[in-house]
Structure 1
């Protein structure tokens, strides 16, 4: 049988591809040995690389089988044997990467299997299945719960916090003592207290950056999925797009769940580190400082202010993700509706200063509310400590009235803050509808030739719905950010020289 034109060139290209694949496999094997020597039980980069090689090599594998059936080339040739052997080894290697290499010296049982799990196991949280399976059969007990990993323990996080915070604190004390000794006429701006947030970022910077990358990929994939549309597409293209959309949606779900897992775990670590720091600072308070810092105020710091850091941590990536999603959706709206999307952009711009101004007002009320909360807690603590004197002098009614008055002022501030937040939530929730109304109205009325076809309407509505989530999240972020700023100021005040 004659060889078709260009076949020799194709064989040369395939031979070159086989040699590159063998070199890549050899390099991956060396990296695998190095990883084992470093004590890593699994590698996500290697596993993802192997999966990509398998997926991209599948058409090549099919092409060799098809050429053999057509009699163009024999599977017994050296080139075909090399490629088919390499692909078979690659499939086995990809499967074996689903399992982690055993780590010596690990005691099974109560210890968490997370660190001994493979990349795929961690990505799907398969290592946690033992707990819900046990809980489905019977009530969970303490022995059924995994112990914390070493890097999540209070001891490790407290020491890590001290390693970042203590140098800044000592530098602050030194600079502040020099500033205090200066002549009042020569003094410049007082020394600023060290930042709690910068210390937390340095502690968890790699986890934060990894979560940022996952969030960016997830948002980009979600936006691209919402804009897939074409006219008169062939059947095979529709099937390919359907499979691609399904695979991308599943992959995005895994990436998004991995992002939330990292951020919620980081939030718990931050809460543990700050609680330990406040408790340690409490033990070092002098007698004079204890008169100003009551037990109730310290409890508020650990139970309320620290918890607000923990609450905002899972959502902190939304500060850049929401503008990114809104920009992405608006760009696609311009591509779909043209200049008719300008009214939607104007509405979005109007809501920005509204949220900023309201956040400033709510922040002022939040500071006053926390002062009243501390005062009320202080009074309750004094009443409980001196309950014998209160009973002897029959001071129950005036004490109760005084505490109720403080509580009434606190509730008034809470009501005003809640009212502002509810109004903003209503506007932010209605903003996608207003954008759709004015954009569609401008599109139809601006030119008689503009027809609101199903393709334009459905694509635009999908983008408008995409705007709903980030716009709703903005109000929540502003509220949490204001609370975190107030709590940050209160926590930093605990490290002032006066205490």
Structure 2
């Protein structure tokens, strides 16, 4: 590119219709170019205004300063979670309704399937009209799930990306303004680990956040449906799931402990490697 900034194509997402958004039709041109040839930087779309790092970082800084002011007035410690929720909380929670709708559709599909199967029994209690209704319900549910699932994942990944970029910008800003005394206490490995490892978790964290409240509701719904079909026997499966919850929680805590130990050792490794590289530069500079 000879040091020049490549001119990117206009992003088609803001002009896309509702149908194009849920079907991702506006992405077809870049998919077609990628099919015909190797994609170059000039083939990429411009980032949306709300996704630009400067815009996202400034928004999070303002929210953080407001949170610090409120925390000081209320005599409590400021919380980055509250600052993030003040900007993105409403949007992130709005996508929870999409996940709930998706799970309800998934729950309805076996109900329609059961109606359709009952029609083919010898003593079928359903009419032909009911069979058509059940078959239509199965087909509609199968079509609705991907139409809800993919916009849900895509939307929350965008929110996760914006929060990751904002937090990364604040870390860089803080690192630049650290005092000389604080610099001696903060290792390069710690900052690199924060930027490359910890912040990467935000890309997917919000996708699975809503499962914390949707999953119990769906467990109750599926148990009620099974109770109607097979009776008290369904409690065996329900009990197995309940028993697995504390076991999974225990393993999650153990994995968290291991990850904290790994993070400490990664910080030390990055610090040692940084010292080695600096030493190599000094040796080469003085030709020792």
Which interval holds the TM-score relative to the shorter structure? 0.7 to 0.9
Whole-Å separation in 2 of the counterparts to 1:219 and 1:122: 21
C-alpha displacement at 1:389, in angstroms? 8.2
User: Which residues of structure 1 form unaligned runs of 5+?
Assistant: 1-108, 177-190, 392-499
Give the alignment of 1:227-266 within 5 angstroms: 227-228=111-112, 229-230=114-115, 231=118, 232=124, 233-266=126-159
3-state DSSP class of the match of 2:111? coil
Contact 1:264 1:313 in 2 (8 A): yes
Q: 2:26 aligns with which of 97, 111, 127?
A: 127
Task: Determine which of 215, 233, 255 is the counterpart of 2:99.
Answer: 215
Query: For the Cα contact (< 8 Å) 2:57–2:170, is it kept in 1?
Result: yes
Q: Does the CA contact (< 8 Å) of 1:207 and 1:262 recur in 2?
A: no
CA contact (8 A) 1:295 1:381 kept: yes
- Determine the structure 1 residue equivalent to 2:5: none
Preserved CA contact (<8 Å) 2:53 2:169: yes
Aligned position for 2:3: none
Does residue 162 of structure 2 align to residue 162 of structure 1? Answer: no
Q: Distance in 2 between matches of 1:129 and 1:325?
A: 35
In structure 1, distance between residues paired with 2:74 and 2:134: 63
Q: Does 1:281 align with 2:165?
A: no
Query: How many Å separate the matches in 1 of 2:155 and 2:237?
Result: 35
**What is the aligned partner in structure 2 of residue 370 from structure 1?**
263
1:147 aligns with 2:147: no
Alpha-carbon offset, residue 146 of structure 1: 0.8
SS state of the match for residue 38, structure 2? Answer: coil
- Please identify, of 361-370 and 272-281, the stretch whose mean Cα deviation from structure 2 is larger: 361-370
TM-score scaled by length of structure 1: 0.50
The reply to whether residue 385 of structure 1 matches residue 282 of structure 2 is no
Is 1:297 equivalent to 2:190 in the alignment?
Answer: yes
1:333–1:341 Cα contact (<8 Å) kept: yes
Alpha-carbon shift at residue 373 of structure 1 (Å): 1.6
- Asked if the contact 1:383/1:390 (under 8 Å) is kept, the reply is no
Residue pair 1:151, 1:157 contacting (<8 A) in 2 also:
yes
Task: Give deviations 1:375-395, integer Å, cap 9, x for gaps.
Answer: 22212222222347899xxxx
**Match of residue 219, structure 2, among 326, 342, 349:** 326
Q: Match for residue 121 of structure 2? A: none
Select between 146-155 and 330-339 the one with higher mean Cα deviation. Answer: 330-339
| Secondary structure, counterpart of 2:42 in structure 1 | helix
Q: Unaligned regions of 5+ residues in structure 2, if any?
A: 1-7, 119-123
Q: Calculate the TM-score normalised by the size of structure 2.
A: 0.85
C-alpha displacement of 1:369: 2.2
SS in 2 for 1:385: helix
The Cα RMSD (Å) is: 2.3
Is the alpha carbon distance of 1:384 and 1:355 closer, same or farther for their aligned partners in structure 2, counting shifts above 3 Å? same
1:185 is matched with: none
Q: How does 1:62-81 map to 2 (within 5 A)?
A: none
Partner of 2:245: 352
CA 1:174–1:152 in 2, change beyond 3 Å: closer, same or farther?
same
Say whether 1:204 aligns with 2:204: no
Residue matched to 1:270: 163
CA distance in 1, matches of 2:74, 2:180: 25
